[in-house]
Amino acid sequence: MAATLHGGTSAGIASLMVGIGVLARLVIVPAIGITIAILLGCRDLELILLMAMYAMAQQMDGNAEPAGQIVVFTTALSLLSLFLWISLLMALGYF
């Protein structure tokens, strides 16, 4: 029998939810947002400011344990993902 967390969610499902949340926050949602911003004509400093505001706004939602884990992982991994996003945009000539 699988171990359950608070609320009856199994540990495997909880880990999967955290993984999907981290992927969505670091890759999927920024890719969509950056694409829309570029199509609207944002460049250079505007893109950097949008990315910073996005990160701050995401800290305002919450759902107990998984949200805490997602914040910890995305904060740690954001150093790498932010570097990669900026490098990609520089290579494409948007900075």
* 93 vs 48, more confident: 93
| pLDDT digits 0-9 by tens, 34-88 | 888 889 888 887 777 777 766 666 666 555 566 566 667 777 788 888 888 889 8
Which residue has tokens 């996005």?
54
Helical spans, DSSP H, in the chain? 11-23, 29-39, 45-58, 64-91
